[in-house]
Amino acid sequence: MNESKTFRSATWVAMCVALAPAAFGQFGGIDLSQLGQLARSGTSTVKSLTLVAESPRLRPLGNTVIQVKVYGSFLPKDGQSKDGRLQQGEWTIRTAGSDQGWLSKPFRFQGKDTEAFVDVASGGLSSIFQSTAGQYTVKDSVVYHAPAKAGKYKIQASIGSVSGEVEIEVDANAPATFPPQSYTFGAEPPMEDPYRRLAEHYSPFVAQETWFQWTADALVRSDFDDDWDAANNWDNLGKGSTQAYVYYAAIESQSHWFLIYNFFHARDYSDNCVAGTCHENDNEGIVLAVRKDGSQFGVLETMETLAHNNVYSYVNDRAIRRGAHTIEGTIALHDSSHPMVFLEAGGHGALGATDKKSLFDPASKTWRVNTGMTYVYKGLAERPKSAVDREVGYELLPIYHHWWARARRETAGALFGAFYRYQPFGNRPAMNLAEVAGAFAGKEFGEDKAKPFWGWHDTATQKDRILATGQWAADPAYAVSRDLTFPAVKNVSLEYIFNPYLNTPEVPFFAVVRNIQSGEVAPGAPYRGPVPQVPQAGAAGGGPPQTVIEPPSSGSCQLELRVDGTVFLRFEATTPQFEVLNGAAPEVRSANCSAPPPPNAEFVVERLSGRGAVRLPDARSPRIEISDPARGAGDYRILLRWERR
């Protein structure tokens, strides 16, 4: 039996898309895949389906694009019936059985396709629609991801009783379909951060949906291509490392710890990259509010997520009620403490895994539809083996060192742009930079679109003048107290003990806190800021623990710079100083020390990256020789470690 479908004219929809394509997205609006059919007027009859695999022979866990071509006849409202290819995407597609591989959600074919369609409107506004928007109206393709087991697998598509299929052979000797990656990042140098264990304890379980550019859906570092130029990340997607990283920051108030996790991607992409729908780089994330209750890790109370400039709120305590935001659901936990987050493919908006828009089932840890990877914190940056890999290990990177150190014009280099003045609502503290980078540098499809957490905004609360640009994450105590309503007995203190991003009282650089009663030592904060509050037993009489400031016994400095020639590097406190033996003066991109290198210490230097020689002439002196013999300047990452004698 053939299947017929009648299409009615909807030219006003075509005009809306032509004028405002950016208004339509996965989380709302109109599905672009339907618009070509709405613009046609006539009757189509499906007669056959043909499935074409880009690579019909794959290695285990390989992938290929499968295009579904629909053929039949089309009878215009006024005209003669024509046979040929139809613009129809209402087919269903499946594997022939369980454990036969996985299929992504549909997308418009991205390769060259010159075969004409017979159901194309002619004349008037409909023809204008076809010429301007017709190229992206039909989602006719999926990605097939092969299983690990060799064999032959069938994929079937159907519309009613009309069906077609294609066979894929999985063979270890098949040609490679994915180029080898050019870079591998080694282990991260240790950072003395008292909030690190807290960030590890609550590190999120990430369910990342994948689509037709699955490496753009991978969680990567912003220098995944081994350079700090964010404006070449779109082009370097296939060249850099897919090793998994999540960025974090910690802020502390009198009542709460606030943990901010950023999920960076090399591209925000779509199968319809018109103005405003795609851009270079992407960075969305979550903010956790953890109440301090005297225990080591406190109690997780709320999670707020960012998806396309909209914040969604989830709670772990039903006594917390809505405020400026509604509550979207509860917080699902993996392994008792790790909140579960769903990230959409392409645009990477973040939602709680329990959200009704989430495609991931947190109870069974499986995908309801489509394809996806999952990530968990392991302290190790693993590469996903495929777009359907499970529990890929990621490493945590401190935002303060990697991004905040570059957030001002003088240090931004090619990483950041879109500088702005932070102007909070509610008479709240200003930022400690007069002007701060508002976005990662980007040029493809949209300029400077992806934002670090201090550039995030929530459309609803910004419109109502509740939270300004940057305020949701940079001033999280104030933000969550406005977004949600807490019980009177569980107030949220707006006084910060530690917030290095806003103007707060400061104490000496890289202090170490020692409890006089217990003798316990807390590692120093790796930046200038207040001494973090370390949960410990109080002094006699119930008062706060007494503390003294003492220098640490060991530490490290990490430096990123460009060198052209031979230079000697030494440190004055935590500031690098150079002597140029030959060539040009070096360009310092970042210098982060856990503490000032002392004179009475043993030193070791390690070249993390760079093409020339790096050596330490005397292990008792932090004086480093860097020699770059090649033509032009070279990039270097250097780690100096020391231990007091």
Q: Give the model confidence (pLDDT) of 401-424 as tens digits.
A: 889 988 988 888 889 999 999 999
Residue 163 has pLDDT above 90, yes or no: yes
- In the predicted structure, residue 637 carries a pLDDT above the cut 80: yes
Of all residues in the chain, the percent with pLDDT exceeding 90 is 54
Backbone angles phi, psi at 24, to 5 degrees: -110, 130
Q: CA-CA distance, 236 to 500, in Å (whole number)? A: 33
Instruction: Let me know: does 189 contact 364? Beta carbons within 8 Å.
Output: no
Domain architecture of the chain: domains with CATH: 3-170 (2.60.40.10), 197-398+475-497 (no CATH), 508-549 (no CATH), 554-644 (no CATH)
Average the pLDDT over each of 9-13, 384-388, 562-566 and give the range with the smallest value: 9-13
- What is the gyration radius of the CA atoms in the chain, in angstroms? 28
What sign has the CA pseudo-torsion 100, 106, 111, 116? Answer: positive
Q: Is the model's pLDDT at 133 over the cut of 90?
A: no
Which residue shows structure tokens 């060198």? Answer: 563
Report pLDDT digits (tens) over 244-266. Answer: 999 999 999 999 999 999 999 99
Residue 503 pLDDT grade (very low, low, confident, very high; cuts 50, 70, 90): confident
The upper half-sphere exposure of residue 287, i.e. CA atoms within 13 Å in the direction of its Cβ, equals 31
For residues 506 and 475, the answer to whether their CB atoms sit within 8 Å is no
For the record, the structure tokens of 15 come out as: 């005009």
Q: What is the pLDDT of residue 574?
A: 65
Predicted confidence (pLDDT) per residue in 20-72, tens digit? 333 333 443 334 444 444 445 678 899 999 999 999 999 999 999 999 999 99
pLDDT, residue 400, reads 87
- pLDDT attached to residue 552: 61
What's the mean pLDDT in 259-275?
90
pLDDT confidence of residue 3: 36
pLDDT per residue as tens digits for the range 71-97: 999 998 877 889 999 988 789 999 988
Structure confidence by residue, pLDDT tens digits, 420-467 = 999 999 999 999 888 999 999 988 887 888 999 999 999 999 999 999
Q: In this model, does residue 543 exceed pLDDT 50? A: no
pLDDT digits (tens, 9 = 90+) for 311-324: 999 999 989 999 99
Q: CA angle 545-549-552, nearest 5°? A: 120
Q: Average pLDDT in the 465-473 region?
A: 96
Distances (CA, A) of 327 to 291, 309, 331, 355, 486: 18, 17, 11, 10, 12
**Least confident span in 125-129, 599-603, 612-616:** 125-129
- Specify the pLDDT at position 124: 35
| pLDDT score, position 137 | 62
**Residue-level pLDDT at 541:** 38
* Local structure of 610: helix, strand or coil: coil
pTM summary value = 0.75
In the structure, what pLDDT confidence band is assigned to residue 19 with cuts at 50, 70 and 90? very low
Contact criterion met (CB below 8 Å) for 619 and 603: yes
Over 60: is that where the pLDDT of 540 sits? no
Q: State the Cα–Cα distance between residues 547 and 63, nearest whole angstrom.
A: 58
Give the pLDDT confidence score for residue 396 in this predicted structure: 96
518-520-526-527 Cα dihedral, nearest 10 degrees: 10
Lowest mean pLDDT among 54-58, 531-535, 559-563: 531-535
Q: Is the pLDDT of residue 575 over 60?
A: yes
